[in-house]
Chain A
């Protein structure tokens, strides 16, 4: 069991994959972290349970010190959205209405933002 950045416990996967289990770390930043602390050769990475405690601690220090992850990141994101909504700009209005923000079409699709399709009130034959 390895705990990094609070609650995350990624185990017996390769390091660069295990790190992406942390909110705020994707494949790219995971590899960058590995490169920085000198784990793996850029192609092959050891599994988390093959790491020494020292190596884990270096990774931990790297993440804690330099990257915003988990709760803090979530808070930052929702603060940004809240700021847009309070300001009343176009993007804020889209967030308020739960519609796509980046100018996508809404006549069809956009289900991620709009949620499950609502049935149109019954039309019987």
Chain B
């Protein structure tokens, strides 16, 4: 988790962040011609076959990358993928468990005007109390975003170490400022 303190440039929700995100993970070799079983974390599997390739490291300065091509869907939500330059199953096995990363900025842009955000953009944001639309007291940080079926939830850690879930909806999270690195929340009255 980063510290949510980056100072991104202009633009709104899709401001460059320099972050990388995991898109997939190897899950073994398949067949004799060096196909790879891949566990894809993206909703859209085509992301893995990004035209500029995917990176091998989470560090944004590390430019090592590989080019993947989707072949077909495998069972259990996995995909068979071929990697450029790899033709033997041994080479895949030698890689062990590898993760593939993509620059945050090469993800498809979010629609403007819709209150929609990538999970990882919300993670790490600082959390303030809402004070009639303005920033109130800072109470903590978003650890992650989860959805157990009852709507998206912000998982927030308070400064005193306490962790809690907060409903992510227009009524309870009036301001989300990815660029500014914060959200404001309205605490619900507990009944």
Contacts and interface: CB of A to CB of B under 8 A. Distances in A.
A and B in contact, CB less than 8 Å: yes
Interface of A: 87-89, 92-93, 98, 115
B148 A88 contact: yes
| Most chain A CB neighbours (cut-off 10 Å) among B148, B149, B150 | B149
The majority secondary structure among interface residues of chain A is loop
Q: How large is the interface on B (under 10, 10 to 19, 20 to 34, 35 or more residues)?
A: under 10
Contacts of B150: 88
B147 interface: yes
A88 B149 contact: yes
Contacts of B76: 98
A11 B107 CA distance: 58
Contacts of A98: 76
Given A88-B148, A88-B149, A98-B76, 7 more contacts: A87-B149, A88-B147, A88-B150, A89-B149, A92-B149, A93-B149, A115-B75
Contacts of A92: 149
Nearest to B148: A88
A87 B149 CA distance: 6
Interface in B125-150: 147-150
10 contacts: A87-B149, A88-B147, A88-B148, A88-B149, A88-B150, A89-B149, A92-B149, A93-B149, A98-B76, A115-B75
A122 B147 CA distance: 37
Nearest to B149: A88
A92 B148 CA distance: 10
